[in-house]
Each structure stands twice: as structure tokens, then as C-alpha cells.
Amino acid sequence: MLTSLSVVCPVFALIVAGFGCGRLGLLGPAASSELNRFVVYLGLPALLFQVMADANWPTLWQPGFIASFTIGIVVIFGGTLIYRVANGHHLTDASIDGLNAGYANVGYVGFPLCELIFGRQSLALVTIATILTVSVLFATAIIFVEIGLQTERRPHRLFVKIGKALIRNPLLVAPLLGALWSTTHTPVPEAAKVVLHMLGDAASPCALVSLGLFLAVRHHGSRSNWPIAAMLTALKLIIQPGIAAICAYGIFKLQPMPAAIVVLLSALPTGTGPFMIAEFYKREAVVTSGTILLTTMASVVSLTACLMLLGHVPG
């Protein structure tokens, strides 16, 4: 319990800090959106570029682990999207809800938690999950969001509009450029690496404070959205790790440590990615903020239970 608490509490503390600043009026009414714009245009692109540029692709090729983690993401994201669209919700909002249910906070919680429990040898596997989450899943969600936002019905014009929108999106361009850079086998210059590191490190804290500000200013009268947030929380903290466990232990027969890591990473709370997208595209973010808050709070218990079931409770 203390291990999970020590990793999750800083995440919750930053949300509370933003909430307090919003309630006390220490930051202006536009602070949430402006902080989020910093994350979308500078912080997160720098992090995505760095992750992709520094990736050691031969080392990261772990088919069973990749498949186990990806299947969990695809089932949860795809199933949630289809369910929400079938119930009359806009494709853009359904895509964000799919992200709410499937976007694990691997970068901010996964790295320290796995290092505490499994040691530094686990970080290569966490890096794989990070790439799948912040690059592949994020890109897929953005594509669906853009499709939902376009009103052009002619297929070729719709394709052109979506293509132009995706090319202008820094959250897709940055990891693509990072992947291209990695093919040159050239280290990122030290000065550039420092800049990327500083910006990337600021992404998650700023996004969490922005979330707290949003909750303080705009979360009134939203009780009707809590059942949806609770459903998405159950999908994130219970169903997704359950699917990953079936794949890791039953289908792909992974070794004990990789299997435990893939289940634990799948059980992480929802990261700030969905909130960034909701704010960036000016969509209603009440369900998203509620899901992030609920999963973060509940994950103290769910992660501890997961560690006990996996037999990796620290002494």
C-alpha cells in the first residue's frame, strides 16, 4: 500500500495544487487552457521526440509483451468508442472517452513504480509501454477525433482535410520526427537534449496542475457525469489489466517478470493525455477530468491489490 501511495500521491498532490490555485484565484481564468497549450505545443512534443529518438529498437522488440499490452489497449479503446457511438455520442467525444478508459499513466507513474518493485531492468519494458501509449494510442485517438470533427462528406476531400489537420498536429509530428532521427543512429546534441529534457519534464506537472484548475473552475453541477466516469474507471483499473493478464499468462506465456509488468502497467490510472486532447479541441472535459481524478484516487487500492495478486508486494 505504501509503495503505491508513494508513487500516486504526488500525482494527486499536483491536481490538488492546481485546484487550490483555482479556488483561491491565484491564477487567472484562462490559466488551465494556457497551461494545457504549453503542454500540447512544447512539453509533450519534446517528451515524445525524446522517447522516440532515444529508443533502442532491437532491444525494445518484445513481441509477447507488445501484443499483451496492445490487445488490452485495443479492446478497451475500441470497445468504449463503439459503445459510446452506438449510444448516440459524437465520434470525437467517443474517441476521447475511449482514451479515458485505455490511456495508462505509464510515463509519470509506471517508471517510478516499476523501478521500485522490479528494479532498473524493468525500464526497457516500461519504455515499450510508453511508446505504445503516448505515441501509437495517442495518434490513433487523434485520427478518430479529426475524422469526427470534419464535416466534408466527399471521401477524397475528407481524406485531404484529415491529412492537413494531422500534419499540423505537434503531438503526431514530434514522435514521427523522433523516429526518423533514430534511424540516423546519431545522438541528439547535448544542448538540444537538455532543452528537450527540461520541456519534457514540465509536461506532466503542468498538465496535472491544469487539470486541477479545470476542476476548480468548471466542475460544478456535473454529478450526472460521475456514473460515466465510474464506468470508465472500472474499465481502466479492472477490465484492462484483466485482459492483459489473460494475454500475458494464458496466451503468450510470458516469463513471470514481464507478465507482472504488463499487468501492472495496464492497471495504472488514466494519464493526462485525454484531458490535453479534450482541452485542445475545445470539447467538454468534465467526464475526462472526473475519470482521471477517480482512477488516480482508486489506484492506490487497485494497484496494491494487483501487486498482491501478482506476488510482488515489497517487504
User: Which CATH number characterizes residue 246's domain?
Assistant: 1.20.1530
In a domain, residue 314? The reply is no
Could you count the other beta carbons within 10 Å of the beta carbon of residue 83? Answer: 16
Residue 241 has pLDDT above 80, yes or no: yes
Cell numbers linked to 217: 473552475
In a domain, residue 113? The reply is yes
**Higher-pLDDT residue of 112, 231:** 231
**Higher-pLDDT residue of 230, 12:** 230
In a domain, residue 240? The reply is yes
pTM greater than 0.85 (yes/no)? no
Mean pLDDT of 227-239: 94
Q: How confident is the model at residue 94 (pLDDT cuts 50, 70, 90)?
A: very high
**Higher-pLDDT residue of 187, 215:** 187
Mean pLDDT computed over every residue of the chain: 84
In a domain, residue 117? The reply is yes
Residue 313 has pLDDT above 60, yes or no: no
Q: What is the pLDDT of residue 151?
A: 66
In a domain, residue 273? The reply is yes
Q: What is the 8-class DSSP label of residue 188?
A: P
Q: How confident is the model at residue 143 (pLDDT cuts 50, 70, 90)?
A: confident
Range of the domain at 151: 2-22+31-309
The total number of structural domains in the chain stands at 1
Query: Nearest 5°: phi and psi at 219?
Result: -95, 10
In a domain, residue 315? The reply is no
Mean pLDDT of 206-230: 74
Round to whole Å and give the CA distance between 51 and 98: 24
In a domain, residue 234? The reply is yes
